[in-house]
Structure 1
């Protein structure tokens, strides 16, 4: 009865929001470009369904773009927001990559190699989850997740998908909540990819830096040089990673994460003799397919982007990544297909070696089962892209940028840029879109406001601005309910997207606040970047002690 009342209430609220949208379509207020994001967030909170919220937000955006015309809104939704998804090689590849990886993980799990790997890393089943043994197993499990996150540095989406799908059963066994698994996978995903000088992000990052300098008439600059100099000022990414380590080692779980962790420890693991269809094989049967997936992406990128394979060096490797930017979607799909073929061989060998015979599914059946399990969540990605298309056409990010331009003193430019980037990325759910809009504007604004300053001081602020844009973009990528990375991290870990947002949001806010006040504000005042880095790390390291003291007081 309560569920039916909740659905009825959500339906009435949705009708009301649609009515407001038709009214706003006749208004000239520029702030209405935020309305689709607001609608999506309200419906997600009420219905606890990301798909419903995203679709209604996309529909409201279509109504605004069609200026209140119902027929025009339907045409806008279908032909301008839905159909272009299938004309984007990146989005098609992201969907195909996600589906193939679902089948890949099903093969690795069913082959028994993953069970062998987990038992080798984490030991036997943990029953006493409240004792020292249970605490050690939880820390070991979480550090395994963190280590995998650092290993899969080349792509944020591949990171969260691979880690969530491969390690969620191990998390259950060790008493680690799936919300915590999603948080650790998501945190290491985008943050590491943004900091890595060789990744699927780097070509886009460098092109946005070049675009910013082109706007001020400086074509001949070293984008890679500015990227490397901005690394110490990319405070949010660094502090998010440091906070993840702190929460693992000191069992720091503020807000809803603490509730999720306590609930996970109360659920007893399945007894070993009751586990369904678990055939532990040699751990190499998991390591080899995972290694093929992990290594084939950089290797294929180097082969495609490099003019000559030898001699090999890091500079040549980085240059190859830039040249192969256009082929990254195809590379991701090709790598996942290659890894899946290896997983099929490993699965077939495990069946023969252990004599499973006809008692288990064939490799194609197992693969298709994994694809089927991940197919419905892919619809959430499609809905998120439809909403993103409406937000982009309404000019939401540009309007937010114009609100800041010329209204901040020079010393607050890095802090203001970070806050604006966080607002854009949270409301739009896209880190790359935030970089694309904000990076050229931030560099040009800094040049205009520092006219007459010494080149050294202006250059320092430009470097700080680049780091602030990257930090703000990743903030929303971590906690926006509209972010594709957030959605994939939750899906892969077996968590509802809204639960992942709620449990991760306190960590994002803490890391963002420390980045703002310990990093970007002092940086704007002229203090060295490494000083803010050290100050922020010290604050995060001491935070659990003060947090528990305030709670006990």
Structure 2
């Protein structure tokens, strides 16, 4: 080697040295970028001061969440970045105290407390069913009758339709019962999550005997859309106009039957599954522990799965569609049933319940963080800004479609499919009444927006629970699902435009 060549190699580092330098610079580079972004939000705060609405700037924290999520594929970290940005925008001088107050406020929120208990108990119940062998028995029962990949996907969809009482129950129970069968036919966990999620919120809004119907029926009465005691009647009248629920149902059945082909990230996931890897990389720890399962006979295992689910649904209906009380009754029933059959000791049952609760901690944290960003967006006036921006373009015919677009954007940005409407209904309902727009059509547009946001948002409760139960990350699920959700949203928008001219 010549002296010049030796000098050249000395001057220019090898590829390994460059890679090492990039890794070492990576964290500092990221800190610098995020620091500059947060400084920008603090500067914007000084430009707006103490105002009721921040206008277009109110959209920036949610936009930051989406961008960070696309970059990092981590929803919790992405939401936290949006929370910090939003708090800096509101008041950079009290960042720490505001974060503490916001955290305490969310933890003390009645809805969050309900979600924590429901998710935890549902996680514990599913874990008991897993460890007691009943989920495997249910899978074996189906495996003897379902012989094709198409049949497996249709069975998953129909199970989702059958479990209509609540999207939480759907997301966890259906995914747990179908994982082994979908793995056998090399269906990716992302496809399973899509099938489950598409029959969760979109189907729950179409059934008056669901937690969604009870909640929104009461909310409609509180906001003057209908007289007291008539909320459920108005909800039932609105079901034919819940365009996104019907569109999502059509899309998922087209996918299950193979009429609508795989596309984008879903196509890549299915190709990976066909090569023998249905579970994506990096998610081996997600899900419930099924090691050392004591497997009962198939028929006994089937009974041990069906009976707790039947008790769960019956008890929830008995207690006026309260899934928390239903889960409590079903958990106690299942523990007694399994202990009586000597499938598990009392200590094992208690451990299974606690371990199932642990599995749900990350989904619960993501949902709680979503409520925090929703609270910040309310303080920034984001919902009001979006509605007021669209008001000049409103007409009697276009109001339902524009309500769907605007509220779908808000729910997608906040991940709060229920909480958002506490803020928006007092604005939308009087607006529709003053313009003489059909109230069932307006409610149908609102519920369509809520279902789309719950379905498509990468940190909504439905998305997080469906991905956790199926065995993939929320971002893997969201990125593979979004093309189909957008197809459903497009169909819903067109339907609402047509209905606006035909009905409104």
Taking structure 1 as the reference length, the TM-score comes to 0.77
Q: Deviations over 1:289-331 (max 9, x none)?
A: 55434543553553x5xxxxxxxxxxxxxxx55xxxxxx3xxx
Deviation of the 1:254 alpha carbon: 2.2
Deviation of the 1:391 alpha carbon: 1.7
Deviation of the 1:287 alpha carbon: 4.3
Matched with 2:13 is none
Distance 1:93 1:293 in 2: 20
Deviation of the 1:248 alpha carbon: 0.3
Alignment coverage as a number of residue pairs: 467
Matched with 2:429 is 443
Distance 2:315 2:291 in 1: 38
Q: Which residue of 374, 387, 390 corresponds with 2:373?
A: 387
Pairs within 5 Å for 1:272-283: 277=292, 279-281=294-296, 282-283=298-299
Please say if 1:408 is aligned against 2:394. yes
Distance 1:6 1:267 in 2: 34
Paired residues of 1:231 and 1:467 also in contact (CA < 8 A): yes
Distance 1:342 1:5 in 2: 56
Matched with 1:369 is 355
Paired residues of 1:292 and 1:338 also in contact (CA < 8 A): no
Distance 1:295 1:446 in 2: 41
Identify if the C-alpha distance between structure 1 residues 200 and 337 changes in structure 2 by more than 3 Å, giving closer, same or farther: same
Pairs within 5 Å for 1:240-251: 240-250=248-258
Deviation of the 1:148 alpha carbon: 2.3
Deviation of the 1:82 alpha carbon: 0.8
Q: Which residue of 398, 411, 416 corresponds with 1:425?
A: 411
Unaligned runs of at least 5 residues, structure 2:
1-19, 49-53, 280-289
Distance 2:348 2:423 in 1: 48
Q: Which residue of 168, 182, 197 corresponds with 1:171?
A: 182
Distance 2:167 2:189 in 1: 19
Distance 1:221 1:111 in 2: 44
Deviation of the 1:419 alpha carbon: 0.9
Deviation of the 1:259 alpha carbon: 1.4
Matched with 2:285 is none
Q: Which residue of 483, 489, 500 corresponds with 1:524?
A: 500
Deviation of the 1:5 alpha carbon: 6.3
Matched with 1:267 is 276
Paired residues of 1:293 and 1:335 also in contact (CA < 8 A): no
Q: Which residue of 312, 316, 321 corresponds with 1:296?
A: 312
Identify if the C-alpha distance between structure 1 residues 145 and 344 changes in structure 2 by more than 3 Å, giving closer, same or farther: same
Matched with 1:185 is 196
Matched with 2:241 is 233
Matched with 2:331 is 340
Deviation of the 1:9 alpha carbon: 4.7
Please say if 1:107 is aligned against 2:128. yes
Identify if the C-alpha distance between structure 1 residues 516 and 483 changes in structure 2 by more than 3 Å, giving closer, same or farther: same
Identify if the C-alpha distance between structure 1 residues 93 and 408 changes in structure 2 by more than 3 Å, giving closer, same or farther: closer
Matched with 2:442 is 465
Unaligned runs of at least 5 residues, structure 1:
125-132, 305-319, 322-327, 451-457, 529-553
Please say if 1:60 is aligned against 2:85. yes
Paired residues of 2:251 and 2:488 also in contact (CA < 8 A): yes
SS in structure 2 at match of 1:525: helix
Identify if the C-alpha distance between structure 1 residues 174 and 343 changes in structure 2 by more than 3 Å, giving closer, same or farther: farther
Paired residues of 1:388 and 1:428 also in contact (CA < 8 A): yes
More displaced, 166-175 or 423-432? 166-175
Identify if the C-alpha distance between structure 1 residues 482 and 113 changes in structure 2 by more than 3 Å, giving closer, same or farther: closer
Pairs within 5 Å for 1:61-80: 61-66=86-91, 68-69=92-93, 72-79=94-101
Deviation of the 1:121 alpha carbon: 0.6
Identify if the C-alpha distance between structure 1 residues 433 and 403 changes in structure 2 by more than 3 Å, giving closer, same or farther: farther
Deviation of the 1:477 alpha carbon: 0.9
Deviation of the 1:103 alpha carbon: 2.3
Identify if the C-alpha distance between structure 1 residues 20 and 409 changes in structure 2 by more than 3 Å, giving closer, same or farther: same
Please say if 1:34 is aligned against 2:59. yes
Paired residues of 2:308 and 2:334 also in contact (CA < 8 A): no
Taking structure 2 as the reference length, the TM-score comes to 0.84
Q: Report the RMSD for the aligned CA atoms in angstroms.
A: 2.9
